[in-house]
A and B are shown apart, each in its own frame.
Chain A
Amino acid sequence: MNSVTNDKVIQLSHGGGGKEMNRLIKEIFFNAFDNAILRKEEDAAVLHFDGNVAFTTDSFTVAPIFFAGGDIGKLAVAGTVNDLAMMGAEPQFLSCSVIIEEGFEITKLKTIVASMATELKKSNTRIVCGDTKVVPKGCVDGLFINTSGVGQIIKPDVSVRNLEAGDCIIVSRDIGRHGAAILMAREGLTLESELTSDCANLWPIVEQLIAANVEVHAMRDATRGGMSAVLNEWAKASNVCIEVKEDAVPVSDEVKGLCELYGFEPFDLANEGTFIVAVPADNAEKALNVMQQFCHCQTASIIGQVTEQQNNQGKVILQTPWGSARYLDVPQGELLPRIC
């Protein structure tokens, strides 16, 4: 019998429901994601839970598919795992749907699936169902992945609505790396740097925060829209004012450099392994200690706090090192280089 590895590129027949598709699924996906539930090959996975369950879904369409510090596969697992983790849920089961463009190289697909498998192991998460579609050339840009995830809630009452005056706002590491890495990898901006995406599975660190009994009021990974989007959502949802000290926010030199070059704000750039957490002031040190044990979070910092400013409820205020202050706004529109 022919092996799928004899084929160099994905053809429409790989999505046709016949032999070729079977080979593709068995040799590439089942091999990498192997587990008892998946191997049953039923129409749907049967899962068992006790108590409240968190359920989330996300689609991944990143261009380029491979970037410094990761690829679309790593992103597709980390992204959904992180959404569950941010709700205090253990990321247990994922689905994986892939839409592949005709002509996509099979070696690339294998690399992507392998990085998904690596990322799954970090949080002991299993892919228990999935789907593969192949579409004619030009209908998608290489490959799109959708993952949905479920997991039991271990730490209840983590919510955007739970911020209280006096809470400390902590960011887990330097911000803006994923957005900057993707922009640098894009055609047109021919840039070189040592910068890598922050793309990471956040469950191990959240698990430790829960184990250390840190009282978490709100927790969110700062993906699209960056830190600005998260803090503004929190301020509005909890009807509080969040004050951030600009010089306390960790930003790497390369991200600063990119922002200077193109007129971006690090606060607006996307992250894929950076989260923000609101904790009562007396829990802040404990939270920081836990976070800083992880090598990617050594720069975790308290960047501000929730205050009781009556006339600024729902707003985020940035205190600049120059003695002035301004609102930190939600980013608007397409991220384009500023020209004036």
Chain B
Amino acid sequence: MIALADLYQGFRDPKVIRSLAQQISHYASQVEGKINIMEVCGGHTHTIMKYGLNQLLPSNIEFIHGPGCPVCIMPKERIDHAATLASQPDTILVTLGDMIRVPGSKGSLAQFRAKGCDIRPIYDPLDTLTIAADNPDKTIIFFAIGFETSTPMTAVLIDQASQRGINNLLFHINHVLVPPAIDAVMSDPLVKVNAFIGPAHVSVISGAKIYRQAVETYSTPVVVSGFEPVDVMQSILMLVKQKAEQRAELENQYSRSVSENGNQTAQALIDKYLTIRPEFRWRGLGPIENSALMLKPEYAHLDAERVYANVLPQVEIDDHKACQCGDILRGLCKPKDCKVFGRGCSPDTPLGSCMVSSEGACNAYYRYNGVNL
């Protein structure tokens, strides 16, 4: 029998981390050249920063923080969409947590809320049902964000609204997909990334299989990892071993929660309502084909993008010319190499995606750079 506490403490045990660090060093010394590991998921970036795991690794292992934070990769025109929708009369815009902090071209949703727009950050998408039922004379718009992890929750919300006969709820879908983002990073001929830590909870939903193609196409190892520091250290060990043995395979460190095929119920719900969007612009990476989802044509009447098509701004808004987030996300340069880093661009006034949230590479460097620990 395993106690719940073991699931926290066992996977955070300092002794285990120290032992794993030793083994990583041992195998890394057998690898020629650098091991540039990209963690695609913001949750892993957070673990690496919070536990200081990068400080425990040998110098030939480097992390490249990937495009894995759904808030950071949102282009400004999509945030402008949210602001425009929130500014419509008799409208309530509902969205998840810290989305409301990110500035669009005319300010953040928090600033629009201060101007009088009814914008409600929620934690649980199903709370939207209560808001819709309590405000029958208003239009509620759910601004849906997130990777594969958060997509099924939106699908449940659509499903529940229809079952409960709620007809004042619309959706603005911004769900994005991990595999096309990996392709976008790897397709650059100069790319330095040569190993991936696969997202944890994206994989709980979609299954480990979604990385198989990337492993084969780019001959790059991928290890699906849990979020605890021991998980991440063990995954790094697995990657380094693959490198030392010159293998490139898909391995699953997080087998207590991730299966090959993922959560089928969740996938079926997504397939019922959503379909692949031909193209989506990622902040920092630019347009990527088939990299996001949208409502199926038969649900067009629920799609805020179509219902409000004539008021939503269609102009694409690029980041500052000097911003080098794209290169940083591909591991081609470091935040310090960017001309605007720390000058025009800081966590208070982010010019590019990597500075937006605490999981972004530039944000982390801004706060931790110059640390003499």
**Is B123 a contact of A189 with CB atoms below 8 Å?**
yes
Query: Per-position contact with A for B95-108: 1 when CB-CB < 8 Å, else 0?
Result: 01111110000000
CA distance A312 to B71 in the complex (A): 32
Q: B residues within 8 A CB of A329?
A: 367
**Is B97 a contact of A327 with CB atoms below 8 Å?**
no
Residue in A188, A327, A332 whose Cβ sees the most chain B Cβ within 10 Å: A188
CA distance A309 to B55 in the complex (A): 19
CB-nearest residue of chain A relative to B49?
A326
Question: Cβ of A48 < 8 Å from any Cβ of B?
Answer: no
8 A Cβ contacts from B124-145 to A: 124, 127, 145
CB-nearest residue of chain A relative to B230?
A322
Measured CB to CB, the residues of B under 8 A from A are 8, 12, 14, 17-18, 41-43, 46, 49-53, 55-56, 68-71, 96-101, 110, 121-124, 127, 145-146, 150, 229, 347, 357-359, 367-368, 371-373
A-B contact pairs, 24 of them (CB 8 A): A188-B122, A188-B124, A262-B123, A263-B46, A309-B372, A322-B52, A322-B229, A323-B14, A323-B18, A323-B56, A325-B52, A326-B49, A326-B52, A329-B367, A336-B98, A336-B101, A339-B70, A339-B97, A339-B99, A339-B145, A339-B146, A340-B43, A340-B146, A340-B357
CA distance A262 to B69 in the complex (A): 16
Question: Cβ of A193 < 8 Å from any Cβ of B?
Answer: no
A333 is contacted by which of B56, B99, B101, B123 (Cβ under 8 Å)?
Answer: B101
**Is A322 a contact of B17 with CB atoms below 8 Å?**
yes
**Is B71 a contact of A340 with CB atoms below 8 Å?**
yes
Residue in A311, A320, A336, A339 whose Cβ sees the most chain B Cβ within 10 Å: A339
- A-B contacts besides A338-B97, A338-B358, A339-B150, 10 pairs, CB < 8 Å: A311-B372, A322-B12, A322-B17, A322-B229, A323-B14, A324-B51, A327-B367, A339-B96, A340-B41, A340-B146
A336 is contacted by which of B42, B55, B97 (Cβ under 8 Å)?
Answer: B97
Question: Cβ of A337 < 8 Å from any Cβ of B?
Answer: yes
CA distance A216 to B185 in the complex (A): 56
CA distance A119 to B373 in the complex (A): 44
Q: A residues within 8 A CB of B53?
A: 322, 324
CB-nearest residue of chain A relative to B348?
A332
**Is B372 a contact of A336 with CB atoms below 8 Å?**
no
Q: B residues within 8 A CB of A339?
A: 70-71, 96-99, 145-146, 150
Q: B residues within 8 A CB of A188?
A: 122-124, 127
Interface residue count on the A side (C-beta < 8 Å): 26
Q: A residues within 8 A CB of B14?
A: 321-323
CA distance A325 to B372 in the complex (A): 10
Question: Cβ of A43 < 8 Å from any Cβ of B?
Answer: no
CA distance A189 to B42 in the complex (A): 23
CA distance A43 to B142 in the complex (A): 54
CB-nearest residue of chain A relative to B45?
A340
Q: B residues within 8 A CB of A338?
A: 46, 97-98, 358
CA distance A323 to B373 in the complex (A): 11
Q: B residues within 8 A CB of A333?
A: 101
**Is B52 a contact of A312 with CB atoms below 8 Å?**
no
Question: Cβ of A192 < 8 Å from any Cβ of B?
Answer: no
Question: Cβ of A50 < 8 Å from any Cβ of B?
Answer: no
Question: Cβ of A334 < 8 Å from any Cβ of B?
Answer: yes
CB-nearest residue of chain A relative to B108?
A333
B42 is contacted by which of A262, A337, A340 (Cβ under 8 Å)?
Answer: A340
**Is A317 a contact of B18 with CB atoms below 8 Å?**
no
Q: List the 3 closest pairs (A to B, CB-CB), nearest first.
A: A324-B52, A340-B42, A325-B373
CA distance A311 to B127 in the complex (A): 48
Query: Per-position contact with B for A5-28: 1 when CB-CB < 8 Å, else 0?
Result: 000000000000000000000000
CA distance A111 to B101 in the complex (A): 38
A158: min CB distance to chain B, Å: 30
B359: min CB distance to chain A, Å: 6
